[in-house]
Amino acid sequence: MNLIFKNATIIDKNSPFNNKAADIVIEGGIIKQIGTNIAPIDGFDVIELDNLHISQGWFDSSVSLGEPGYEDRETLANGLDVAARNGFTDVAQQPTGDPIAEKQADIAFLVNRAAHTATALHPIGALTKGSEGKDMAELFDMKNAGAVAFGDYNKSLSDANILKIALQYVQDFDGLVIAYSQDDKIKGKGVVHEGEVSTRLGLKGIPTLAEELQIARNLYLLEYTGGKLHIPTISTARSVQLIREAKAKGLNVTCSVAVHHLIFTDDVLTDFDSRYKVSPPLRPDTERKALIEGVLDGTIDIITSDHNPLDIEHKKLEFDLAKDGTIGFESAFGALNTILPLEVIVEKFTAGKAIFGLENTAIAEGVQASFTLFNPKGDWTFAKSDILSKSKNSAFLGAALKGRAYGIYNRGKFILNK
């Protein structure tokens, strides 16, 4: 498919066309020309979209697609198509299937299933067998099969020695360890943030200390062992400060925040709506503002949708019994575009590739085309009809959004969200 994208504003700080409108010619999957007023070429389709913007392809560092084992929640084929239509050229798949991705064959299955999709899937291998936190999984074998990192999704390691050994072991092959940080003993039976809202609603609370104490421990381990540590979906002001201080000391630590923690506070819980039950829990506005500050000053490296499809049987329950998680592909860009500068959103959607050892393809002549198409203008309200995922458990239903992704060009495929 040979294409000419007309009058596209390029958002790429490394490009001489940054913040400028240009035409982009794609031939055989390669960017052949970037310029202005490029004439039509025989055999090339012309793509013209309202207020078209193009950036390097977006990367989502935390995605939980159902397959294998939970295809009723989401399949790889549909989930990756939804990702493509909402601007993501690359996603990192959490080891949340059944069986859990803990062996070479499990990673190979995921890689092979997604070999021909427009959005590239990059598996995260389980850090421990069964994600049970007892014995380390087959990390090196999984790395050879295509795993980009190792972690147990939304599960903390109570055994500090396993994390210590993992951080030491992966240095032999430049591996990345992911350490979800929440002390289970302090969390107890908590389901929401511990504070005024939890008291008023009569729900058991999770103090910020549960996250911060675990992060402090994990950073001490990193300082002792060396290696690379990624701390996902942080949610408190003190967590931001701890990571900021660790980076200043020269530790190789990165972190992410979920879109919903930048948008919502625990005030939305007044109706006991389980769509807002996530892990870690939504926090007060003081914590939300500190997270935004961490994004703006560079302490927080990645913004993730933390896309987690769940079936109605596990989500539409009493708040205490419902599973944690929300889908996020369809709303991620539009939600962030209401609170952050466009350049910051693009940076946080693309910087994660380097952290996970992936190539970040420039928008330049002579390179393989891989980019996201979007329109940053236009206010709209997110509705159920906007959900393309099989599961509908979105915390953003009814939310005011701004701008939409048009789709992607990646792996020689052009996917347009109509």
Tokens of 62: 């935390």
- Amino acid 1: pLDDT: 83
Q: Is residue 87 part of a domain?
A: yes
Q: Are residues 41 and 170 in the same domain?
A: no
Q: Is residue 392 part of a domain?
A: no
Ranges of residues in the chain whose predicted pLDDT is under 70: none
Q: Are residues 227 and 331 in the same domain?
A: yes
In this structure, the chain runs to a length of: 418
Q: Are residues 157 and 297 in the same domain?
A: yes
Measured distance CA(129)–CA(238) in Å, rounded: 31
Q: Are residues 167 and 258 in the same domain?
A: yes
Q: Are residues 167 and 40 in the same domain?
A: no
Give the CATH number of the domain where residue 43 resides: 2.30.40.10
Q: Is residue 388 part of a domain?
A: no
Measured distance CA(347)–CA(137) in Å, rounded: 33
Q: Is residue 391 part of a domain?
A: no
Q: How many CA atoms lie within 13 A of 401 on its CB side?
A: 25
Give the CATH number of the domain where residue 262 resides: 3.20.20.140
Q: Are residues 43 and 72 in the same domain?
A: no
Which amino acid, one-letter code, is at 57?
A: G
Q: For 16-66, how does the pLDDT look when each residue is reduced to its tens digit (9 = 90+)? A: 899 999 999 999 999 999 999 999 999 999 999 999 999 999 999 999 999
- Amino acid 71: pLDDT: 96
Q: Nearest Cα to 290, choosing from 341, 338, 241, 237?
A: 237
Q: Are residues 280 and 320 in the same domain?
A: yes
Q: Are residues 44 and 137 in the same domain?
A: no
- Amino acid 14: pLDDT: 86
Q: Are residues 183 and 317 in the same domain?
A: yes
Domain housing 130: 58-355
Q: Are residues 49 and 68 in the same domain?
A: no
Q: Look up the pTM and report it.
A: 0.96
Q: Is 50 a catalytic residue?
A: no
Q: Total structural domains in the chain? A: 2
Q: Are residues 335 and 407 in the same domain?
A: no
CB 307 within 8 Å of CB 328: yes
Q: Is residue 394 part of a domain?
A: no
Catalytic residue among 23, 306, 311, 320: 306
Q: Is residue 275 part of a domain?
A: yes
- Amino acid 49: pLDDT: 97
Q: Is residue 384 part of a domain?
A: no
Q: Are residues 200 and 184 in the same domain?
A: yes
Measured distance CA(204)–CA(304) in Å, rounded: 27
Q: Is residue 389 part of a domain?
A: no
Q: Cβ atoms within 10 A of the Cβ of 101, count?
A: 27
